[in-house]
Every structure is written in structure tokens, then in C-alpha cells.
Amino acid sequence: MQRSASGCEPAPAGGLVHDGVTRVHDGVARVHDGVARVLDVVLASVALVVTAPVVGVVALLVRHELGRPVLFRQLRAGRDGVPFVLVKFRSMRERTGAVDHDDDRERLTPFGAKLRASSLDELPTLWNVLRGDMSLVGPRPLHVYYMPLYTPRQARRLEVRPGITGLAQVSGRNALNWEERLELDVRYVETRSLALDLRVLARTVAVVLRRSGIAPEGEVTMTTFTGGAHG
């Protein structure tokens, strides 16, 4: 088969084959992003209505177990690095002193651990999807102060809307190291399609039911990203 000028082989699915991976053309990617946005609005709207009773019960439980505020809000990096406020149910006690990753083990209560393991803490994030801050499928939104630490390749994860679930989440979740997670995020950007989105959503159900990969071994939350290929 004759190769293109870029050294990639033509692929039948509207993409280019390079290093054994089919990467989508820009035009195909734009179509995917447009259709995915429509599906995000429809599915997030339906999910918000269907899960409203569950959201109400979880809100009351968080209020009883952890007090106020019920919701956790944090600035995260969205598409093209534009910051937005991520909303989730709170699963930890409020900090009383300086910010320290090591105090997460003390702040995470048994109730909070169960809430995180069930992924019910993510339900309010559907509002972020409806608002257009996020998508159902895409790289997980990370802290804005991580952006300067990315390698040029890792920064490609910012080319799409971040997602509630993604390729990294169904391939090991937080049990993966940072290099592996960010590479899977970029791989999603390069190969995204509606078929891939549907596979990720289906696999997400299995991951949530198994409650696997919630945090790295020996940790209660994901470790801090320190930059590049060594994070």
C-alpha cells in the first residue's frame, strides 16, 4: 500500500495509520466532537432527571456525615486550557490547616471512601456536561496548575473537552501512573470516535461495579503530578 507524504497509511475508518494506531483526520474529529456534544446534552439531561432522587438522598447523607458545604468545587482545566469550576459531592472533611496531600488519609472518612468507590460523588458533574464544560467521555479534568508541567505531547489532552470518564479510567483508573494515564488521554484525542465513546461508556459500568483502580496502591487519592514523563 502506498504511503502518504506524512509517512502514514490511509485507513478505511476516516483516519491515518501510524505506528499501528488509526488516528482520525481533523474533519472526522470535528464531526465527532459536534455529534458528541449533542449526545452529551441529551444523555446528561436524561441522567439528571432519572438520578434526581439519588442526588437528593446523597446530598442529605453528605450533609449529615460531613456537614457543609455539600458540594466540592475546584478550578480545573477545560478544553484549550480554559478554566472552569468542577462540581462534585464532597467526600472529605474540610482542611483545617495548610494544603498537604499527606493529610488526605485523615480527611477521608469511611463514608467518603464508600461514596468515592460508588462514583456517586460524580453525579453533580453532569451539570458540567450540560453547561458544556465537560463531555461524558474524554480525558479527566485536572488541576489548572498542572498545565505548565505537561510535555508538548501530554498537552494535547487539552484539545478536547474533559470527560466524566475516559480511556484512562477504563484502563486502570487512578491505579495507573501519571505517564500511562496521560498517554492514554492523548491516545483518546488522536483516535476518538463515537464507537470508541460507546465502548468507554460500556466499560465504565463494569469498572464502577468492580470498584477497581480508585487510587494507587497504598494511597487514598491519586498522587500529585510533578511533570513530564516522570510524574
Q: What is the pLDDT of residues 27-86, one digit of tens each?
A: 888 899 999 999 999 999 999 999 999 999 999 999 999 999 999 999 999 999 999 999
What are 22's strand-pairing partners? 17
Q: What is the pLDDT of residues 156-169, one digit of tens each?
A: 999 999 999 999 99
Report the 3 state secondary structure along the chain: CCCCCCCCEECCCCEEEECCEEEECHHHHHHHHHHHHHHHHHHHHHHHHHCHHHHHHHHHHHHHHHCCCCEEEEEEECHHHCEEEEEEECCECCCCCCCCHHHHHHHECHHHHHHHHHCHHHCCHHHHHHHCCCEEECCCCCEHHHHHHCCCCHHHHHHCCCEEECCCHHHCHHHCCHHHHHHHHHHHHHHCCHHHHHHHHHHHHHHHHHCCCCCCCCCCCCCCCCCHHHC
Q: Are strands 15-18 and 21-24 parallel, antiparallel or unpaired?
A: antiparallel
Every domain of the chain and the residues it spans: 9-230
Q: How would residue 150 be classed by pLDDT, with cut points 50, 70 and 90?
A: very high
Q: How would residue 224 be classed by pLDDT, with cut points 50, 70 and 90?
A: confident
Q: What percent of the chain has pLDDT over 70?
A: 79
pLDDT in the model for residue 210: 77
Pairwise CA distance, residues 33 & 128, whole Å = 16
Q: What percent of the chain has pLDDT over 90?
A: 60
pLDDT in the model for residue 9: 41
Q: How would residue 207 be classed by pLDDT, with cut points 50, 70 and 90?
A: confident
pTM for the model: 0.81
Q: How would residue 94 be classed by pLDDT, with cut points 50, 70 and 90?
A: confident
- pLDDT greater at residue 113 or residue 59: 59
Looking up cell 484502563 gives 171
